[in-house]
Amino acid sequence: MLCDELELHAVGQALDELLVPGTIMTAVPDLKAQKYDRQLRLWAASGQAALENAQVCLLNATTTGTEILKNLILPGIGAFTIVDDEVVSEIDIQRNFFLDTSCIGSPKSKSTMQFLQELNVDVKANYEEKSAGYYIDENHAFFDQFTMVIATSLHEAHALKLASICQARNTPLFLIKCVGFAGMFRIQAGEHTIIETHPENATDLRLDVPFPEILEYVKSFNFANMDSSEHGHVPFIVILQHFLQAWKLSHDGKLPESYAERNEFKELLKKEMRSFDEENFEEAIANVWRLASPSKVPDKVKEIFKEPKCENITKESSNFWIIARAIKDFVYHEGAGLLPTPGKLPDMKADTKSYVQLQQIYRQKALQDLEAVKARVQSLLTEVGLLPDAIDAREIEEFCKHAQFVKVIRYRSLEDELIRKVHKSEISQWLEESDPTNNIVHYIIFRAADRLANNQIQSVGQKEEDAAVKALEEATRQVLSSMDIPQDKVTYMLDSHLRKYVVNFVRYNGSELPNIASLMGGLVAQEVIKVITRQYIPIDNTCIYDGMTATTSIYDL
């Protein structure tokens, strides 16, 4: 039985579900819902379905690689395959939580797979006792089966080849390096479209442009004849709209837009309070700022509308661009310059009847806008020779709900970064700042170490230390010079702060520290889940972590 006074979060959620046509409510969640309860609250059933359909490939069963898989297997990816041709050594079991002494001498790919699969029996597991280089150099078709490729500790030449293979297949690629206290990962995902970005404040109440049904509903409230209980349970939206009409009469029909006007309007509301602790009036006062935030299409969404892919819809267009075009047409016709109404209310102080009626009004307007967008989607599909129901109605509904916050990220290819060096001037500027919290120095050192490996020089750290430092320092000098940094500046950078990073890298001896690998595993897995589910906003495109300073930096390289 519902209580008369509501802090209406649960009711609002339940009503939102009940008002969705075709929604089936079950009294008891199934076993899967119970198992994944917490993450379903984060990315809902659609995100979970995307995870469970994901086929992930891990190249090289490093400590960091297995930590990444751990954080993907627990939430329930569909399947994973580990590619590694090495056998387990004593050093491996000291560094990798997913290996023990019984694994020594066994294939690393098989051993790590077996331990990882124990985390979630619903996830399918496979392994390949071949090197990553074999598939990158000789068997590109191997990657056709995967929806995501994660590669750890690949040298630059193989990373470039793999990036090209994945780019040709539109397969997202994560490249990870982790040595000592430093870790770096890079995303290449082509064009990545996101509908559910999960902004902190997604409420869209249209307080400045209320639709007629809201104004009619507000007229049904007679504030003068209410008793104290009724007065204290009027939804804040009704309070704002009621007193806003009186305000407009004395202000030439204008809203309280300036700071002074908003304060004046707040004082008006305070005078109407019958007690000092009427929460609904306090909520109204706290939301006055919304009146000065005009309802409009955000600039970033306008930019999406201007995209050639939005203007020119073809049979090959993705669902995202077809729906985006339909919403664009809606904005300039039925929407009268506004996006579809999301139809969701925030929690508020109100009695059950008032809240439910208000929710129904917003929901009905949202459904009305949704039907208009659906009709436009079907028309576009027909125009390009596709079936009118080729796009699921639920996908259109989700787009309409979140249209204000949709986002498109176009990831730069690894070839653009390493071969064309499109951002070398920015990298040079970052280095010259000599900021101790600027982790771009690790990027340079990782690149330099790759240069040694590509030239088939013995791995850094396996030589006598002084010689190894000299070799890595020279490689660092070459990397900096390739970015058109003058030699005198290169020398200054090395002398002032880069040389200590070179020395530390050599002393790490190529080792992965379990705690740093674990942290990197969490960071990477989080971004992988964002890309797979197409929810939340992943980084663009490189993240570097420094365990010595406990700082993380993100760069668009």
Structure confidence at residue 481 as a pLDDT band (50, 70, 90) = confident
Query: What is the pLDDT averaged over residues 256-284?
Result: 90
Coil/strand/helix, residue 85: coil
Q: Which residues of 269-306 are buried (b: 16+ CB within 10 A; e: fewer)?
A: beeebeeeebebbbbbbebbebbbeebebeeebeebbe
**Residue 555: how many other CB atoms lie within 10 Å:** 20
The yes-or-no verdict on residue 392 having pLDDT over 80 is yes
| In the predicted structure, residue 284 carries a pLDDT above the cut 70 | yes
pLDDT at 437: 64
Residue 201 binned pLDDT confidence (cut-offs 50, 70, 90): confident
Res 178 pLDDT > 50? yes
Per the document, the length of the chain is 557
Tokens of 265: 């309007």
- Selection from 255-264, 322-331, 461-470, 548-557 with the highest mean pLDDT: 322-331
Q: So what's the pLDDT on residue 435?
A: 64
Helix (H) or strand (E) holding 216: helix 212-219
Torsion angle of alpha carbons 211, 215, 217, 220, nearest 10°? -170
Mean pLDDT across 524-548: 95
pLDDT band for 452, please (50, 70, 90 cuts): confident
Confidence of residue 202 (pLDDT cuts 50, 70, 90): confident
pLDDT of 14 above 80: no
Low-confidence winner among 26-35, 286-295, 345-354 (lowest mean pLDDT)? 26-35
- The pLDDT confidence band at residue 60, using thresholds 50, 70 and 90, is very high
Q: Which two tokens stand for residue 313?
A: 């819809």
pLDDT at 433: 67
- Residue ranges covered by each domain of the chain: 45-190+514-555, 212-292, 416-508
Per-residue pLDDT, 191: 95
Residue-averaged pLDDT of the chain: 87
Query: pLDDT digit string (tens) for 226-263?
Result: 898 989 999 999 999 999 988 888 888 888 988 999 99
pLDDT of 23 > 90? The answer is no
Cα–Cα distance between 306 and 295 in angstroms, integer? 20
**pLDDT at position 420, please?**
74
CATH assignment, 45-190+514-555: 3.40.50.720
Percent of the chain at pLDDT > 70 equals: 91
Q: Residue range 386-403: average pLDDT?
A: 94
pLDDT at 1: 34
Give the pLDDT of residue 510: 83
Show the beta-strand stretches assigned E in 92-190. 124-128, 148-152, 173-179, 182-188
- Whether residue 290 has pLDDT greater than 60: yes
pLDDT digits (tens, 9 = 90+) for 92-128: 888 888 988 899 999 999 999 999 999 999 999 999 9
Q: pLDDT-based confidence at 281, cuts 50/70/90?
A: very high
pLDDT at 404: 93
Instruction: Give the pLDDT of residue 218.
Output: 93
pLDDT per position as a tens digit, 37-49: 788 888 888 888 8
Q: Is the pLDDT of residue 293 over 90?
A: no
Sorted by sequence, the CB contacts under 8 Å of residue 502 that are 6+ apart come out as: 445, 448, 469, 472, 473, 476, 494
Confidence of residue 377 (pLDDT cuts 50, 70, 90): very high
Please enumerate in sequence order all residues whose Cβ is within 8 A of that of 170, keeping only pairs 6 or more positions apart, or say none. 190
